[in-house]
Amino acid sequence: MIHLIVSITDQSLSVFDGKDLIQRLTISTALNGPGQQKNSGCTPLGLHIIRAKIGEGYPENAVFRGRRFTGEIYSSALSDQFPRRDWILTRILWLSGLEKGVNRLGDVDTMQRYIYIHGTPDSEPMGVARSHGCIRMRNKDLLWLFSRVPVGTKILIKD
């Protein structure tokens, strides 16, 4: 069974099939570090599942806002037009916490915080904490991952 481990310390996402490591990908987690609290801009810790997969069939670099395709395809010209936008590109894996009081319900609910694994512009550095709480990935890596993980896949996010 496929499962994922996100290491905030290593800025990596590891894909396992049972005990076998299939792939290790470089990511970018929150600039504010790990944390559960609503509006903290932190990446939540603990056990999660992929609650929803969004974006199947859209082109690489498709732009999403509010989990909806905007009709835009990311480019440097679009970036220049909207310099402050937090780009959510290509696909979205929407996470939901499994640990009540830790990352589920109340002011620590990962899903209500809209924490995703999502694509980001290729110009953004990986291996460096820079996100607003989500887990950013290279678009090509995200396409690879998206095709291999079903809804319900477990993800452990650790410091």
Report pTM.
Answer: 0.97
The residue among 41, 76, 49 whose CA lies nearest residue 61 is 76
95-140 confidence digits (pLDDT tens): 999 999 999 999 999 999 999 999 999 999 999 999 999 999 999 9
Decide: 33 and 130 in contact? Cβ < 8 Å: no
- Beta pairing partners, 33: none
Q: Which CATH number fits domain 2-158: 2.40.440.10, 3.50.50.60, 1.25.40.80, 2.60.40.3880?
A: 2.40.440.10
What rounded mean pLDDT belongs to the chain? 97
All residue ranges of the chain with pLDDT < 70 are none
